[in-house]
Amino acid sequence: MRKNKLVAPVLKWVGGKRQLLDTFRPLLPKKITTYCEPFVGGGALLFHLQPNTAYINDINPELIRVYTVIKENVDELIEELEKFENTAEQFYAVRDWDRNKDYYLTLTDVQKAA
Ligand SMILES: C[S@@+](CC[C@H](N)C(=O)[O-])C[C@H]1O[C@@H](n2cnc3c(N)ncnc32)[C@H](O)[C@@H]1O
């Protein structure tokens, strides 16, 4: 399958492997049919390889929610993201959402992912 150059990690992730892709390249199998990534994080290698079939996992449920929403509900996610303003006030307001458990529980999966 041809690679889509627009496909890239959607999150900056601590410990991401994007800078190491050139080092990994010669170590990778020539053909990958099914890709399994048990610690996907930002998915640098996954999005670089763009395998036809991939199984991903991460211990972080919020991260997995983001990938699930992208897979199942990307249009709603984009609509939700478009509501954000690039201001300090918006940043601090959104950051407070998950510090207020009662409020956070009222959010939809799409709002949480956004
Ligand atoms: C450094 S990141 C992975 C980077 C990624 N593989 C890449 O290509 O950029 C490590 C990830 O492993 C996850 N993790 C740590 N312990 C785990 C565990 N026991 N089971 C599943 N995921 C785990 C963390 O939540 C984190 O997202």
Q: How far is the CA of 18 from the centre of ligand 1 (A)?
A: 14
Confidence band (pLDDT; 50, 70, 90) for 11? Answer: very high
Q: Does ligand 1 come within 6 angstroms of the Cβ of 110?
A: no
Q: In this predicted structure, what is the pLDDT of residue 102?
A: 93
Is any atom of ligand 1 closer than 6 Å to the C-beta of 59?
A: yes
- Under 8 Å between Cβ of 63 and 79: no
Element at 35 (helix H, strand E)? strand 34-37
Residue 10's domain is classified under what CATH number?
A: 3.40.50.150
Atom index in ligand 1 nearest the CA of residue 45 equals 8
Residue 5 domain boundaries: 1-59
Q: Across the strands, what pairs with 23? A: none
pLDDT digits (tens, 9 = 90+) for 35-92: 999 999 999 999 999 999 999 999 999 999 999 999 999 999 999 999 999 999 999 9
Cα–Cα distances (Å) from 31 to 1, 27, 36, 57, in that order, read 11, 12, 14, 22
Residues 6+ apart with CB under 8 A from 92: none
In this structure, the answer to whether residues 53 and 5 fall within a common structural domain is yes
Rounded to two decimals, the pTM is 0.90
80 and 55 share one domain:
no
Position 1 confidence tier, pLDDT thresholds 50, 70, 90: low
Question: What is the number of domains present in the chain?
Answer: 2
Do residues 55 and 72 share a domain?
Answer: no
Q: Which atom of ligand 1 is nearest to the CA of 16?
A: 9
pLDDT tens sequence across 94-113: 999 889 999 999 999 999 99
Give the Cα separation of 91 and 44 in Å (integer): 26
Task: Say how far residue 30 (Cα) sits from the centre of its chain.
Answer: 26
Q: Which residues pair with 34 in a beta bridge?
A: 53
Report CA(85)–ligand 1 centroid distance (Å).
Answer: 30
